[in-house]
Amino acid sequence: MAFFESSCVTWGIQLAPRSLTKMKQEQMLRSTRFLREQICHHPRYPRYPVQRVDIIAVHGLGGNWLKTWEANDGAIWLRDRLPQLLAERNIQARILSFGYNANFIFLKAVNDIEIVAGELLSRIDNVRTTDEQKKTPIIFVAHSLGGLVVKAALNKAWTENFHYQNIVDKAAGCVFLSVPHQGADLAKNAATIVTALSGHGNNKLVKAIMRSSEEWRKVGQEFVFRTANISIATVFETQKTNGMMVVDQESARLDLYGERTEGLPRSDHGNICKFGDSPDESDRFRGLGYLVTEMVESALERAT
């Protein structure tokens, strides 16, 4: 897990996964580096007490905890845009990015992915230790197949609520960016993602995902049954990647009551989670920024 830097004090420790062999730790969580925390106080908005939220980002296939969210000009909206947008509303965001070796994970069985989901839960639990932190709502932001990891993690939290009761109680929302949800088409969508991101088919990876499609369908069904108290936003791409629409509007929707669905202009599967510093990029980000902000404000209202 890594905290994106915003403005002030930084501290870091190396995190090592538990309950895995050393080799498997390295393979499954190779992307993870350091835990860094930044407390962002916006000088123009010094009103107190501030409201707090934890936002947890989970990347998908072919990504990592940093590069998935980083535009070509080096801008990272989770670090450079979102904290400031929330600070204008007197909300202090602690933004965490979870890294794992997605290509290795999706080659393996669902059980291995659930191990990573458990590691995500453990890391969240480890950084929510004080009474103040335990009161803080949690919002998940997931890109592509990272949404499946988030679903598996929340399913595990609900099943093992004696370990993760605080996460169950405070999980307030999920923002899914080009995440394939529809069970029957999940394997096909995942195969399309592999082809679109690599420019060619990775037969080994595609076959592994196909083998696990039924189990992933069950993960998705279990998640849907447990979302009554969680706000859901599904965001879909509006442009093709390497000549193909990877996750279209129909596949990106969960079709839940109260679900908010939006298409991001000029966004394909790869850049739907990246926003540069230019005015055009600011315009492209605006819809997602306010969607996340509204979800955070709603979560804070429910928490009071």
More confident residue, 192 or 301: 301
- Report the pLDDT value the prediction gives residue 190, as an integer from 0 to 100: 66
The model's confidence at residue 107, banded by pLDDT at 50, 70 and 90, is low
High-pLDDT (> 90) share of the chain, %: 50
Question: CA-CA distance, 114 to 280, in Å (whole number)?
Answer: 39
Query: Could you read off the pLDDT of 164-173 as tens digits, one per residue?
Result: 999 999 999 9
Look-up of token digits 């929510």: 128
| Sequence spans of domains, the chain | 2-303
- Report the pLDDT value the prediction gives residue 41, as an integer from 0 to 100: 36
Nearest of 248, 250, 241 to residue 269 by alpha carbon: 241
Average pLDDT rounded to a whole number, residues 266-288: 94
Cis peptide bond upstream of 17, omega within 30: no
156-164 own/partner pairs: CB under 8 Å, 24+ apart: 156/114, 156/117, 156/118, 156/121, 157/121, 158/226, 163/121, 163/125, 164/121, 164/125
**What average pLDDT does the chain have?**
80
Average pLDDT rounded to a whole number, residues 183-198: 63
pTM: 0.84
Query: Could you read off the pLDDT of 19-72 as tens digits, one per residue?
Result: 444 444 444 444 433 333 334 333 344 555 689 999 999 998 888 888 999 999
- Report the pLDDT value the prediction gives residue 295, as an integer from 0 to 100: 97
Question: CA-CA distance, 243 to 199, in Å (whole number)?
Answer: 10
- Report the pLDDT value the prediction gives residue 23, as an integer from 0 to 100: 44
Average pLDDT rounded to a whole number, residues 6-17: 30
- Report the pLDDT value the prediction gives residue 244, as an integer from 0 to 100: 82
Question: CA-CA distance, 49 to 97, in Å (whole number)?
Answer: 26
Nearest of 62, 142, 132, 121 to residue 94 by alpha carbon: 132
- Report the pLDDT value the prediction gives residue 40, as an integer from 0 to 100: 37
- Report the pLDDT value the prediction gives residue 228, as an integer from 0 to 100: 86
The yes/no answer on whether domain 2-303 falls in CATH 3.40.50.1820 is: yes
Q: Which are the contacts of 115, defined by CB distance < 8 A and separation ≥ 6? A: 19, 20, 28
Residue 208 has pLDDT above 90, yes or no: no
- Report the pLDDT value the prediction gives residue 209, as an integer from 0 to 100: 66
- Report the pLDDT value the prediction gives residue 147, as an integer from 0 to 100: 94
Question: CA-CA distance, 12 to 93, in Å (whole number)?
Answer: 18
Residue 262 has pLDDT above 70, yes or no: yes
Residue 188 has pLDDT above 70, yes or no: no
Question: CA-CA distance, 193 to 272, in Å (whole number)?
Answer: 13
Question: CA-CA distance, 38 to 241, in Å (whole number)?
Answer: 34
Residue 207 has pLDDT above 50, yes or no: yes
Find which of 138-142, 199-203, 219-223 is predicted with most confidence, using mean pLDDT: 138-142
Query: Could you read off the pLDDT of 215-245 as tens digits, one per residue?
Result: 778 888 899 998 888 999 999 999 998 888 8
